[in-house]
Chains A and B, each alone.
Chain A
Amino acid sequence: MKSMEKRVAYLRERAKELRKSALTMIYEAQSGHPGGAFSIADIVAALYFDEMNIRPEDPQWADRDRFVLSKGHVCPIVYAALGHKGYFGQEHLHTLRQEGAILQGHPCMKKCPGIDISTGSLGQGLSCAVGMAIAGKRDKKDYRVFAVVGDGECNEGQIWEAIMSAYTYKLDNLVLVIDNNRLQIDGTCDEIMPNIDLTRKLEAFGFETFDIDGHDMEEILATLAKCKASKNGRPKCINAHTIKGKGVSFMEDELAWHGIAPNQEQYEQGMKELREAWCSEENEEEDPTTVEEYLEGMKELEGGAK
């Protein structure tokens, strides 16, 4: 069980680094969407640094697991993951939304290595994930497809069309993660277009569902493992209960932080909070301090597991 503890500690640190990078990107660009980036940071960390079978040095590897950010506006958190994984040089992490950048305001698969499909117009990415998953089945490949969809995004009818095709084609290689942060732009989801109970809805649409705390790394990992193990022909849905803006106190659960950049003071305060986050005293003593050391620790873990 020690190894699970280490994995969790490592991934939490990773998620923290992703948040710091994303915040820096949005601050430097003075534009972007911090709220919904932070709500999925832990899940993105778990996927890119633990779960997904990917090769950063070969982004087009045919057997790779796919990642679809259907809610494309929060791409800085994924750019951070791609950058930290080595899909491209770290210097790119300072070019968000700039002229000529590979890091477009919304993800562009033609410009940025590691982006499996271009997104930005809500409601469309999940259909593309379905297409990738169907191809995986037809080509008898083992890869899996992970799609992150917003709870506001679930307003789009196309999401439900995609959900129906995933069931029809028995896509147990598809994992739909709903970022249930309860906020969209003009208000809470309950005010604008209540989702009522997404787990029950997805269950009724034939998915195998999991209700989780999207910031509990242990639960994230355990659920991803269950998704992987379950080859029952049913697509998977992780209804991740999250907090928009998670990790920076003044952004948490705040509608206003959907799509604005922090000023210098807010940025510094945010970075400070992120640096100090989750550093309980015992952890501080036990855990390696740099990302590189974590990576080393991770390698050991991986080696041990195999």
Chain B
Amino acid sequence: MMAGKLIATREGFGEEIVTMGKQNKDVYVVDIDIGKSCKTVKFRCELPEQYINVGIAEQNGAGVAAGLATTGKIPFVVTYAVFGSLRMVEQIRQEICYPNLNVKIACSHGGLTPANDGASHQAIEDMGVLRTIPNMTVIMPADYVATKKLVKAAAETYGPMFLRFTRDAVPVIYDEDQEFEIGKAVKISEGKDIAIIANGDTVRLGLEAKNLLEAEGVGVTLLDMHTIKPLDVDAVLEAAAKTGRIITVEDHNIINGLGSAVCEVVSEEANAKVKRIGVQDQFGMSAPYERLLAMNGITVENIVATAKEMLGR
């Protein structure tokens, strides 16, 4: 019904967190003075008893959330991805992950989506950095539908988690009844020639590339790896065994993100070639979002070309 509609995934978060908060009085929002743009205004108005705003003080916010979690509350710390990862990374490590507390860091402005704000606001290292901390779960939903389902799952599943949403609008690709499980890839298609593993706002690109390749008779396995940690190892190995060729696509530095996670598994346990498409270890700049993706080869054309190259076509 909604398929194709353009909507930023931060909107999905803003709606679902209200539903979660109404269902469970322990669900809290800890805002860091950007609730407006991270879409928590509705939560703030409707559930003031479950709402805290610590001002522009990310490190304090992470610590306050940890304290709340020790009493059984389920705080969602809400900010931009670059700050919610890097600015408070040590607090996340020491006070959230080490004691394994039930804190969720829920961030808008993931990847290159804060496009015209420039490099200072674009988050290209966040998922990789947080992936290296024990006990942390790292998630980026592909669209509005996936966001709502995964936010619900996050609220209902114990443990530290980082969720990353888009600032800019991306198309809805899933039906309302699609199911999502943390740590389990969504297999969008199955084919024997090549596998495309994408996450977040790049799943839509993988989908378009898949359609183009299939039209040329190439069998494509397309996985939405919304959770990069814990990685769905079985899904990766199955895709590797079936196709022997994997392309990863992500709106994140090619170092230490989805591509790296897939390579870690494949190099140890499979016989397949992996090509990584993502941010080319360079800072962004102010420019339209689609242009920033293009500067890094994160495009449908490049996925198709890479697939053909791997297939020797």
List A residues at the B interface (Cβ < 8 Å).
29, 31, 72, 96-101, 104-106, 108, 118-123, 152-153, 155-157, 184-187, 192-193, 259
CB < 8 Å: which of A97, A108, A152 contacts B33?
A152
Q: Taking the nearest CB of chain B, how far is it from the CB of A120, in angstroms?
A: 3
Q: Judge whether B235 is part of the interface by a CB distance below 8 angstroms.
A: no
Q: Taking the nearest CB of chain B, how far is it from the CB of A289, in angstroms?
A: 35
Query: Once bound together, how far apart are the Cα atoms of A115 and B285, in whole Å?
Result: 16
Q: Taking the nearest CB of chain A, how far is it from the CB of B115, in angstroms?
A: 9
Query: Once bound together, how far apart are the Cα atoms of A185 and B108, in whole Å?
Result: 15
List B residues at the A interface (Cβ < 8 Å).
31, 33-37, 44, 53-57, 59-60, 82-83, 87, 116-121, 285-288, 291
Known A153-B56, A155-B56; judge A105-B34 contact (CB<8 A): no
Q: Which B residues lie within 8 Å of A187 (CB)? A: 53
Query: Once bound together, how far apart are the Cα atoms of A185 and B41, in whole Å?
Result: 12
Query: Once bound together, how far apart are the Cα atoms of A98 and B116, in whole Å?
Result: 7
Is A121 a contact partner of B82 (Cβ separation < 8 A)?
Answer: yes
Known A121-B83, A153-B56, A184-B55; judge A99-B120 contact (CB<8 A): no
Q: Taking the nearest CB of chain B, how far is it from the CB of A202, in angstroms?
A: 18
Q: Which A residues lie within 8 Å of B285 (CB)? A: 99-100, 104, 108
Is B53 a contact partner of A186 (Cβ separation < 8 A)?
Answer: yes
Interface CB pairs A-B, < 8 A, 22:
A97-B116, A98-B287, A99-B291, A105-B118, A105-B120, A105-B286, A106-B121, A108-B119, A120-B117, A121-B82, A121-B87, A121-B121, A153-B56, A157-B60, A184-B33, A184-B56, A185-B33, A186-B35, A186-B53, A192-B33, A192-B55, A193-B54
Query: Once bound together, how far apart are the Cα atoms of A99 and B37, in whole Å?
Result: 23
Considering residues B44, B55, B119, which has the most beta carbons from chain A within 10 angstroms of its beta carbon? B55
Query: Once bound together, how far apart are the Cα atoms of A109 and B45, in whole Å?
Result: 40
Q: Which B residues lie within 8 Å of A120 (CB)? A: 117-118, 120-121
Q: Which A residues lie within 8 Å of B35 (CB)? A: 185-186
CB < 8 Å: which of B53, B60, B121, B287 contacts A99?
B287
Q: Which residue of the partner chain B has the closest CB to A153?
A: B56
Having A155-B33, A193-B53, one finds 16 other A-B pairs with CB under 8 Å, namely A29-B116, A96-B286, A98-B287, A99-B285, A99-B287, A104-B285, A105-B117, A105-B120, A106-B118, A108-B119, A119-B120, A120-B121, A156-B57, A157-B60, A185-B33, A193-B56
Q: Which A residues lie within 8 Å of B291 (CB)? A: 99
Query: Once bound together, how far apart are the Cα atoms of A98 and B291, in whole Å?
Result: 11
CB < 8 Å: which of B33, B54, B287 contacts A100?
B287
Q: Which residue of the partner chain B has the closest CB to A105?
A: B118
Query: Once bound together, how far apart are the Cα atoms of A232 and B219, in whole Å?
Result: 76
Q: Which residue of the partner chain A has the closest CB to B57?
A: A155
Q: Which 4 residue pairs spanning A and B have beta carbons closest together? A: A120-B120, A193-B55, A155-B55, A99-B287
Q: Taking the nearest CB of chain A, how far is it from the CB of B143, in angstroms?
A: 24
Q: Which A residues lie within 8 Å of B82 (CB)? A: 121
Q: Which B residues lie within 8 Å of A186 (CB)? A: 31, 33-36, 44, 53
Considering residues B37, B60, B119, which has the most beta carbons from chain A within 10 angstroms of its beta carbon? B119
Considering residues A98, A105, A121, A157, which has the most beta carbons from chain B within 10 angstroms of its beta carbon? A105
Query: Once bound together, how far apart are the Cα atoms of A97 and B83, in whole Å?
Result: 21
CB < 8 Å: which of B44, B56, B117, B119 contacts A152?
B56
Q: Which A residues lie within 8 Å of B288 (CB)? A: 99
Is A122 a contact partner of B286 (Cβ separation < 8 A)?
Answer: no
Known A104-B285, A105-B286, A185-B33; judge A122-B56 contact (CB<8 A): yes
Is A72 a contact partner of B286 (Cβ separation < 8 A)?
Answer: no
Q: Which B residues lie within 8 Å of A99 (CB)? A: 285-288, 291
Q: Taking the nearest CB of chain B, how far is it from the CB of A287, in angstroms?
A: 37
CB < 8 Å: which of B54, B87, B286 contacts A98?
B286
Is B120 a contact partner of A118 (Cβ separation < 8 A)?
Answer: yes
Known A99-B285, A157-B57; judge A104-B118 contact (CB<8 A): yes
Q: Which residue of the partner chain A has the closest CB to B116?
A: A97
Q: Which residue of the partner chain B has the closest CB to A73?
A: B117
Is A105 a contact partner of B36 (Cβ separation < 8 A)?
Answer: no
Query: Once bound together, how far apart are the Cα atoms of A33 and B33, in whole Å?
Result: 15
Query: Once bound together, how far apart are the Cα atoms of A106 and B285, in whole Å?
Result: 10
Is A104 a contact partner of B286 (Cβ separation < 8 A)?
Answer: yes
Q: Taking the nearest CB of chain B, how far is it from the CB of A290, in angstroms?
A: 32
Q: Which residue of the partner chain B has the closest CB to A72?
A: B120
